[in-house]
Amino acid sequence: MLKQSLSQKMLQKLSPQQIQLMKLLQVPTAMLEQRIKEELEANPALEEGQERDELAELSDNNAEELAGDDGTQEDKYELDDYLNDYIEDDPASYKLRANNYSAEEEDKSIPIPVESTFHDYLEQQLGLIEFKDEREEAIAHQIIGSIDDDGYLRREPAAIMDDLMFSQNVFVTEEEILQVMKRIQRLDPPGIGARDLQECLLLQLYNKRDQEELEDMSLEEWDSLVLAIEILEKHFDEFTKKHYQKLQNRLNITEDDLKGAIDEIIKLNPKPASGYSSSGARSTQYVVPDFIILNRDGELELTLNSRNAPDLRVNDQYRDMLRAYKRNTQGRRANKKEREAVMFIKQKIDAAKWFIDAIRQRQDTMYRTMYAILQYQYDYFLTGDPKKLRPMILKDIADITGLDISTVSRVANSKFVQTEFGTKRLKEFFSESLSTQEGEEVSTLEVKKILEEVISQENKRKPLSDQKLQKALEEKGYNIARRTVAKYREQLNIPVARLRKEL
């Protein structure tokens, strides 16, 4: 049975201005310029340039009553109060510059690389190949278009057949595709068009074997090349798992022979297209620091990147409209169209003021957050030693700044700081704590650094297992479990002991 009832609830909701501020906090400096351009296009009341003092000229405390033909007295007071509040507002409150910005105020644009793409390079080489007919040429272009950004052809011949049939109305067989694919695989760089890693490495070795003159290679080098080809052709699985003893037994070779073959394989490029930064649809991304920390004779100085301080103001034409409205309605009642026009102006001006205020709050919040991080990790920023990093979580900075944890998270998530030791992500400074044998609280980042050093100093012929790494850390005063060692090792992108083995 349906019933109707009344109830009271207290709900907390973010205002549109707060939502706008939260979104702006997430935008890194590199994207802020684009976000401002979008707002400038959407709101004609907002424009670039420094705020002027012309608003003071509009001040008129004795304005006549402004009311439309069908307007209520309440509407009249609302609009009249708005006009008086706006024209008496201090224009300086909308200036965004402060004293905490970088001295590099000149307009610097992000460099854009001008270069041909990897696929363009392959297409150019097709002009040097003679094809039997247009069908073969169409297949070649389709294969090159199917090669991914690493240089691999991971699309099956059957799928390429369907692509040619539906897009170009060209009917081909798998045999024809495989024949053209072999010709594509002879293009530069070696290894291009391979369907997997094994084929990629073999193509490079075949190319070296076919291109090298015998007199240019020593007998030992030639034997290593032939052995490397045999290992990849017949024992690829054992090679990838580094079962070196098993390889020696199966091939009946010495350790020196195996080492020479492996050295040949190590020289190869597993990603043939890696030398082309603009390959495919991806473009080079440049890191633009949001903060700059300078060391002034032992004193650290924090500044915001000047790109965080755009010059924005309310459009002059909208000011002129307000002047004309007040001037034309003095001594008479405003009509409906005039009131609708001034309400539209009011909405656009409010939106412009909100955006300018959100930009200013963004800068203030960012500076407060970064300043708290700087003070918390002062020893690190002074020396650059990762072991000086203190355990720090979002709540620590939130407590210092008085900001919400989610706000600190938005600032730290996608921002960069430029130091004399390099440009770092803010989130790299956050870590949990770990107790040493002496009871001292240290950062997990310090433990990872020690772990990395232990692994770099190990005997590569007999790499340390996770259990032995755990004991090595314990000897240095860090009590952590073996599974924690494995977790930190994986986070550092360091493989297991078996895969770190070298001859």
Identify the CA nearest to 199 among candidates 220, 214, 178, 219: 178
Which one has a higher pLDDT value, 246 or 442?
246
Instruction: Provide the H-helix boundaries in 377-495.
Output: 378-383, 394-401, 405-413, 444-456, 466-475, 482-491
Q: Locate tokens 């650290």: which residue? A: 300
| Of 36-45, 153-162, 226-235, 366-375, minimum mean pLDDT range | 36-45
| pLDDT reported for residue 288 | 81
In the predicted model, is pLDDT for residue 502 greater than 60? yes
| pLDDT reported for residue 392 | 86
Per residue in 153-169, pLDDT (tens digit) is 888 988 988 888 888 88
Secondary structure (3-state) at 408: helix
| pLDDT reported for residue 94 | 47
Q: Locate tokens 């939106």: which residue? A: 351
Chain center to CA of 256: 44
CA quadruple 492, 494, 495, 501: dihedral, nearest 10: -170
| pLDDT reported for residue 373 | 92
Chain center to CA of 40: 25
| Mean pLDDT to the nearest integer, 417-437 | 82
pTM, rounded to two decimals: 0.57
**Between the ranges 93-107, 174-188, 335-349, where is the mean pLDDT highest?**
174-188
Q: Report the alpha-carbon distance of residue 58 to residue 88 in Å, rounded.
A: 8
Sign of CA dihedral 457, 463, 467, 468: negative
| pLDDT reported for residue 214 | 53
Q: Report the alpha-carbon distance of residue 194 to residue 176 in Å, rounded.
A: 17
Sheet with 299-304, strands from edge to edge, namely 299-304, 291-296, 416-419, 422-425
| pLDDT reported for residue 82 | 54
Per-chain mean pLDDT for the chain: 77
| pLDDT reported for residue 201 | 92
Residue 478 DSSP class:
B
In the predicted model, is pLDDT for residue 410 greater than 70? yes
CA distances from 211 to 95, 198, 204, 208, 295 (A): 67, 20, 10, 5, 55
Q: Report the alpha-carbon distance of residue 380 to residue 446 in Å, rounded.
A: 12
Q: Report the alpha-carbon distance of residue 138 to residue 299 in Å, rounded.
A: 65
Which one has a higher pLDDT value, 333 or 173?
173
Per residue in 80-123, pLDDT (tens digit) is 555 555 544 544 344 455 555 555 544 455 555 555 688 888 88
Which one has a higher pLDDT value, 114 or 343?
343
| Mean pLDDT to the nearest integer, 357-376 | 88
Instruction: State the burial class of residue 267 (Cβ atoms within 10 Å of its Cβ: 0-12, 13-18, 19+).
Output: exposed
Q: Does domain 433-503 bear CATH number 3.30.390.50?
A: no
Domain extents in the chain = 28-102+311-349, 118-188, 201-272, 433-503
Q: How many residues belong to the chain?
A: 503
- What is the percent of the chain with per-residue pLDDT over 90, rounded to a whole number? 6
| Mean pLDDT to the nearest integer, 124-142 | 85
| pLDDT reported for residue 60 | 35
Identify the CA nearest to 397 among candidates 440, 367, 441: 367
| Mean pLDDT to the nearest integer, 236-251 | 88
List, as one string, the DSSP characters of 358-394. HHHHHHHHHHHHHHHHHHHTHHHHHH--GGGPPPB-H
| Mean pLDDT to the nearest integer, 385-396 | 84
| pLDDT reported for residue 71 | 44
In the predicted model, is pLDDT for residue 497 greater than 70? yes
Per residue in 31-86, pLDDT (tens digit) is 777 888 888 888 888 887 665 544 433 333 333 333 344 444 444 445 555 555 55
